[in-house]
Structure 1
Amino acid sequence: MKVFLSRRTMPVLFKLVLLIAVIMVVNACVSKGAIFNVNSGSAGKNAASNVKKNSGPVTISFWYSWVGGFQDEFYDTVVKPFEEANPDIKVQMTFIENSDNSQGSDKLLTAIAGGKAPDVAMIDRFIVGEWAAMGSIEDISAYAIREDMASIYYKGVWAESQYNGKTYALPWNTDSRAMFYNKTLMKQAGFDPDRPPTTIAELDAMAEQMFKTNSDGAYEQVGYIPWTGQGFLYTHGWNFGGEWERSGELTPNDPQIVKALEWVQGYAEKYDVKKLTKFSETMRQTGRNSFLSGKVGFVYEGNWLLNETEDLDFEWGVAPMPTIDGNESVTWSGGWSFVMPKGAKNKEQAWRFMKYIAGKEGSLLWAGRKAGKNDLMCIPEVNEKLGFYKKEHLKVFTGMLEHAYIRPVTPVGGYMWDEMLRVQTLAVNLQGEPRELLEEMKKNIDAELAELMGVRKQQDSGSPRPLYAYK
């Protein structure tokens, strides 16, 4: 799944209002006796009496935000088999739009605050920690422990579903990043097309020989542009050996991340950012990834780009992204998950649905469909059964998932992503020194985290929770 740009999920004031509203809803439910015992697998007195009155199936609500015919495809592929295997449950799918460029929905948050939450919702995994900190999603630890769910997923994606040592989501799909390289351009530049670069220095040297301009001085071919594709500072930071989190502290000013941003800025200076931007804009007008034009030597991209490579008229390959020393293959992954929003009415049925669609059965059905030939799932066993560890090109992405990095699990995950994009954009446009920009980013996210957790402390009746917890 592609990584989309995100913004702050909401202002701190709205978070405070939401927390108060959720607490009021929960207190109201408790006062009415709607208590659920996870360990017994049964609902409280009121819920039990409702089951007796209603002899038909229980209808659970499932909110999702994917477009492009997802509803019909997901229903036919996964939901319908679930309903057939669980005749006491019916699933009502409802599309909700994500807010602006975020991976979260204000409509969903408003529904949660108003006590009208759906039973299950789909959200991007990297904001699970943020939503858990806001009290917007249910702690499903007891369910997950009961079913030993942690044992079936990649360790990294499971860690992304945790916050303060508790489980708040079930991972679903995942992705991986690698380097696509143009073998034809490598040959023309005098390089062995079967030996792609493995270090940053080798990448720089090969890319340099591939830049070509036309009579107007504009680029008609480029070797590499660090900020295109999946060339986020997160990507480069890890490739340079940097750490975005260390011992519970967010560290965007890590010395190796500073070096990574200096390297990115170096391309903007050496090859003229204005000319590179013009080239990228021209490629963007084609409606396809610039690498597919045959005019780009190297690009960092996700496994999803494999879906668009069948009709290429040049030789190409996939390899792990180059690193500083070339001794370790590095990637990072993201993806989506299923959560139980705070105040869900049919928890036991919701859990059964979540376990199916995010578990082995549902994941195998989804990734095994005809259109899912390059989709990666969060369960190693599923990817292995579908032959993804041996499939040409895709095996490069799959083989690194066991050790894939994830973005820090933090209440300010969305804000940190926005700050990363901001400082990278400034550096690329030569509007600041990398070290100073990243020091500023560090101060901003620390201040945001302190402000957010200060609001939470006012709501906590017990001991204050840690400002940052990543297990």
Structure 2
Amino acid sequence: MEKRNKGTQQLKTGMIKFFVTALSVSLVLTGCGGTNGESGTNSTDANNTTNTEKANTDNAANKDAGAVNSDAGKDSGEKVTLEFWGWQGKFQQDFTKIVISEFEKLHPNIKVKYIPDQGGNDKLTTLIAGGTPPDVGILDRFMVGAWAAKGSLEKLTPYLDTDSEVKADNYYPGPWAEANYKNDLYALPFNTDNRVIYYNKTLMKEAGLDPEKPPTTISEMDAMAEKIFKKSSSGGYEQVGFIPWMGQSYLYTQSWNFGGEWTKGEELTPNDPQIVKALEWMVGYAKKYDMSKINKFNDVMGKTGINPFWTGKVGFMVDGNWILNDLTSNAKVKPTFDWGVAMMPSEDGYPQTTWAGGHSFVMPKGAKHPKEAWEFLRFIGGHDGTLLWAKRADAGNDITAMPKVNEEIKITENPKLKLFVEMMNSAHYRPVTPAGQKMWDETFRVQDLALNGKGEPKKLLDEVKKNVDNELKKLQAK
């Protein structure tokens, strides 16, 4: 991550260079893949602004990270117990054994009490507002900006002034920028992910297409997909070429493939002409291939218990690196067809791209042991802790937010995973804004309306623009 004096310039460079932000209409996630089955998906609106003002005021005198002195990065040496808020289940067991235990060996004066996430972000928000937050927690990186804006997180920037090991260059630009808000650091990136197109070489060959030449443009995708659609005896679909809202394909994803931009300076622009064009293109599929027939196909896929692509009935599908784990973790996944991965097709004249998501480690506002919490944060979110977690036996196809660690564990030797890693340096990420969750939710709302013929894309996205602007004004007024 980064520092105030040295890091601010790096941050500005990274944020200028890289800007951006999960499933089908019926399977919407926050856009982050899981870790050992723990998705950490948003269970609450990031802009659900419970009253944190009292907690913030009570702690302002001695808890504001902006007032941390030159010893900010050093733990007190006293015996303390930190509270760590994280996912329950297998993640809790493995992270405690692999990472936390090593931290405690290095810091015998610090014990870490793991608090399983029960109640999701609503519960964590309540603890912060009540002045009883954990010292460190896991938060979807997409939500960092919104939580920072409402005063729910401690600034980490001052700690970087005394820390030579934590800096922006250690991380991919997207995850680092997403962990910052208004030129201040509020989180350390944890895991990350991005999206590509999976393509069924067998279906391509059967359709008379070259299985070694996946589509690179939207027009190529449309032409190839049309040849793969095959109707069933009942009038539905036996197999499909491509569905623009299946898997990790939805408006956010396709907007970048069309060259759309969600912000212009400080302004949110969900009705950007290219985003409108992306939604119009998606609606074209719903009309051409009959939304009701596609829904029936999706229902059948949902009953298989596996990702639709692994059924062998889908020609092209946008999804993340995490579904590669299905090949070893899901006994039902036994592909009998040839397949590959490639960059998503883009509109003619625009570069092929992707977007990254992931989680982060944060220090909630009012943490009782900030110095020790920082020491813990810099370990679990830094090189050593990240490497320990990345080297676990069942890490599978996870990608860390640190290029050096990915090099050390040699994940690019996996030919299917190599592409994901190579794209991380140019991956987009969702807008860092207090109204980010609102805009995310609104896009799925209008996408559903548009696909089902209940509104025109331009008017619907103009409505989104109005709604997110109103949300932003409301949040900024508090």
Q: Which amino acid aligns with 1:266?
A: G
Q: Which residue of 2 aligns with 1:18?
A: 52
CA distance in 2, matches of 1:5, 1:421: 14
Give 1:96's match in structure 2, choosing from 117, 121, 137: 117
SS of 1:117's partner is: coil
Q: Which amino acid aligns with 1:126?
A: F
Q: Which residue of 1 aligns with 2:91?
A: 70
CA distance in 2, matches of 1:215, 1:232: 29
Q: Deviations over 1:101-140 (max 9, x none)?
A: xxxx111111111111111011000110000011011001
Q: Which amino acid aligns with 1:255?
A: P
Cα offset for 1:144?
Answer: 2.6
Cα offset for 1:5?
Answer: 6.1
Q: Which amino acid aligns with 2:365?
A: K
Q: Which runs of 5+ in 2 are unaligned?
A: 1-31, 34-38, 329-333
Q: Which residue of 2 aligns with 1:60?
A: 82
CA distance in 1, matches of 2:308, 2:216: 22
Q: Which amino acid aligns with 1:134?
A: K
208-217 or 141-150, which deviates more: 141-150
Give 2:122's match in structure 1, choosing from 102, 106, 109: 106
Question: Percent of aligned positions with the same letter in both sequences?
Answer: 50
SS of 1:227's partner is: coil
Cα offset for 1:83?
Answer: 1.1
Q: Which amino acid aligns with 1:156?
A: G
Cα offset for 1:285?
Answer: 1.1
Q: Which residue of 2 aligns with 1:136?
A: 152
307-316 or 389-398, which deviates more: 307-316
CA distance in 2, matches of 1:165, 1:378: 20
Q: Which residue of 2 aligns with 1:468?
A: none
CA distance in 2, matches of 1:150, 1:162: 11
Q: Which residue of 2 aligns with 1:84?
A: 105
Cα offset for 1:76?
Answer: 1.2
Cα offset for 1:41?
Answer: 3.5
Q: Which residue of 2 aligns with 1:403?
A: 426
Q: Deviations over 1:198-257 (max 9, x none)?
A: 000111111101111122101111111110100121110000011111112111111111
CA distance in 2, matches of 1:122, 1:95: 11
SS of 1:371's partner is: coil
Q: Which residue of 1 aligns with 2:465?
A: 442
SS of 2:210's partner is: coil
Verify the 8 A CA contact 2:83 2:112 in the aligned structure 1: yes
Q: Which residue of 1 aligns with 2:411?
A: 388
> TM-score with structure 2 length normalisation?
0.87
**2:258 maps to 1:240:** yes
Q: Which residue of 2 aligns with 1:366?
A: 389
Give 2:344's match in structure 1, choosing from 321, 335, 341: 321
Q: Alpha carbons of 1:236 and 1:444: their partners in 2 closer, same or farther (altered >3 Å)?
A: same
Q: Which runs of 5+ in 1 are unaligned?
A: 100-104, 456-471
CA distance in 1, matches of 2:118, 2:473: 30
Cα offset for 1:67?
Answer: 3.9
Q: Alpha carbons of 1:339 and 1:38: their partners in 2 closer, same or farther (altered >3 Å)?
A: farther
SS of 1:329's partner is: coil
Cα offset for 1:68?
Answer: 3.7
Q: Which residue of 1 aligns with 2:282?
A: 264
Q: Deviations over 1:362-416 (max 9, x none)?
A: 1111111121121101111111111123321101111000000000000111111
Q: Alpha carbons of 1:372 and 1:238: their partners in 2 closer, same or farther (altered >3 Å)?
A: same
Verify the 8 A CA contact 1:329 1:400 in the aligned structure 2: no
RMSD of aligned Cα (Å): 2.1
304-313 or 443-452, which deviates more: 304-313
Verify the 8 A CA contact 1:6 1:414 in the aligned structure 2: no
Q: Which residue of 1 aligns with 2:7?
A: none
Verify the 8 A CA contact 2:68 2:158 in the aligned structure 1: no
> TM-score with structure 1 length normalisation?
0.88
Cα offset for 1:428?
Answer: 1.2
Cα offset for 1:11?
Answer: 4.4
CA distance in 1, matches of 2:277, 2:65: 55
Q: Which residue of 2 aligns with 1:8?
A: 45
- Correspondences of 1:156-235 after superposition (within 5 Å): 156-235=174-253
Say how many residue pairs are matched: 434
CA distance in 1, matches of 2:433, 2:67: 28
Q: Which residue of 2 aligns with 1:466?
A: none
Q: Deviations over 1:153-182 (max 9, x none)?
A: 111111101111101000111001000000
Cα offset for 1:97?
Answer: 3.1
Between structure 1 and structure 2, the one with the greater Rg is 1
